[in-house]
Structure 1
Amino acid sequence: MTTRASDALSDSAQTTRQRASAQVEAIAGELEEDIAMGLLHPRERLVEDALMERFDAKRHVVRSALSTLETRGAVERRAHVGALVRSFSAQEVRDLYDVRELVETACARAITTPVPGDQIRPVEDAMHEHEQAVDRGDRRSALRANIRFHELLFGLAPNQFLVESVRRHARMASPIRSLTVVNDRLLERSRDEHRAMVVALREGRTDELVRVCAAHLEPSRDAYLNLLGEL
């Protein structure tokens, strides 16, 4: 085989791997959204054959996507059952949200305020996207804008390990947060709290930012505990 032919095969293999990796991430992302929106429920089985048909994907790609979601904490695997949307006990919910409050309030407190206009503008843009999606009843767009808002807000903190911890624990809570995405009253509360966070960032009111960030976690935690009959 010539060097040129060998290079061509190597490039082709790399392109195939990149396409497979992109497909894995796309499938994982769509399933993660479905979980966060309550379209896939805790303890619901994620059947490989059905997912292969839905996404027109090979089995190894679907398995990789499910492994990605397992790593993120949104899916669990059980012997003789397979992959399921993760369910949480009442104590696990309390423990996870204790950790979320610790890391999110620490992240909020680490942000230097007041935040300059050029830095806060992307956060405000995401806030407006969320408001508009809530107002028109577009829950999927509201979910995406909500995630973007929080990633941009907490991304203002200088400690990237703390920022990554916020992101990781928020993803883990996707099955819990699903109960608030379908509730208009709680979506409106989320919208109002986003506004309060932005005002606190702009005006340099760090204590208020920390308070609102902590309160912002309560609805999804309490809704899930109420579902379990533990509230």
Structure 2
Amino acid sequence: MPQAMRAEAPAPLPAAIAAALEEDIVFGRLHPRERLIEEELAERFAASRHNVRAALAVLEGMGLIERIPHRGALVKAYSLAEVEQLCALRDLLETQAAQQMPLPLPEAELAVLRGLQAGHDAAVAAGDARAAFRANLAFHRGFFARCGNAFLAEAIERLAQRAHAIRFAAFPDPAALARSREEHHAMLAALASGDRAGLTRLCGNHLAPSRQAYLRAQSAFLSA
């Protein structure tokens, strides 16, 4: 009897490729200014060049890579000044969102955020940095959605995407993961109690450790 034909697994979609490369950037497996070569990526993901190019376009739109003539796609690198400017703008927008949130937050809204944080708690407890990364994104997206201004929430998310490598530079550190978890719970407590000053302060302070970790990591990489 003729051998049964096996259906080949479909090539990864551009979104899946982009997500994998996003995590490589976040966790330092791809370094600032490192080239992303289409042929190598196509082989790695068993994907067509078309899908690879589409994935790179997604990453470029997120601000994680840049295309330079005659050099191709490179992982985005931020100078000291750019890091400070980006983080200053994020601080401005995120603290403004905290100022606009209805406090105390209704219990039904708190329940949604607590559910999102439960996923982050589980990932941190398991030491699963990848799951913690995705759960952290979900928590912050849900958190800032409660500011009541869809345009402000969208701007915050766009800037957060651009700052992924900065924002999560401390993620491999278990102590940093635990600190992030504790700060999330403090934010939830401030939402529940109506402590606007505390909530605003927490939103501003939440960015500092990852900014410092990124600058240390980039300094070490460039001096190696």
TM-score (norm 1): 0.86
Bigger helix fraction: 1
The answer to whether structure 1 residue 214 and structure 2 residue 188 are counterparts is no
Say which SS state the counterpart of residue 170 (structure 2) adopts: helix
What is the match of residue 112 of structure 1?
Answer: 102
Structure 2: gaps spanning 5 or more residues: 1-9
Q: Deviations over 1:23-45 (max 9, x none)?
A: 22222222212212222221121
8 A Cα contact 1:35 1:178, kept in partner: no
Q: Contact 1:151/1:167 (CA < 8 Å) preserved in 2?
A: yes
2:106 maps to 1:81:
no
Does 1:164 pair with 2:120? Answer: no
Equivalenced residue count is 211
Counterpart of 2:206 in structure 1: which amino acid? H
**Rounded Cα–Cα distance in structure 2 between residues aligned with 1:156 and 1:132:** 23
Report the aligned-residue RMSD: 1.9
Is the alpha carbon distance of 1:172 and 1:146 closer, same or farther for their aligned partners in structure 2, counting shifts above 3 Å? same
Q: Say yes or no: does 1:35 pair with 2:25.
A: yes
* Deviation for aligned residue 1:162: 0.4
Mapping for residues 190-229 of structure 1, pairs under 5 Å: 190-229=180-219
Identity %: 45
* Residue of structure 2 aligned with 1:186, choices 176, 186, 203: 176
Contact (CA 8 Å) 1:85, 1:175: kept in 2 or not?
A: no
Q: Which runs of 5+ in 1 are unaligned?
A: 1-18
Asked whether the equivalents of residues 90 and 228 of structure 1 are also in contact (C-alpha less than 8 Å), the reply is no
Q: How far apart, in 2, do the equivalents of 1:66 and 1:106 lie?
A: 32
The match for 2:7 is: none
1:228 CA displacement: 4.7
1:151 corresponding residue in structure 2: 141
Q: Give the aligned residue type for 1:96.
A: L
Judge conservation of contact 2:36–2:75 (CA < 8 Å) in 1: yes
| Cα displacement (A) at 1:81 | 1.6
Shift of 1:227: 3.5
Q: Which residue matches 1:122? A: 112
- TM-score, normalisation: structure 2: 0.88
Separation in 2, partners of 1:178, 1:41: 13
- The SS at the match of 1:181 is coil
Q: Residue 191 of structure 1: CA displacement?
A: 0.8
SS at match of 2:183: helix
Is the deviation greater in 146-155 or in 108-117?
A: 108-117
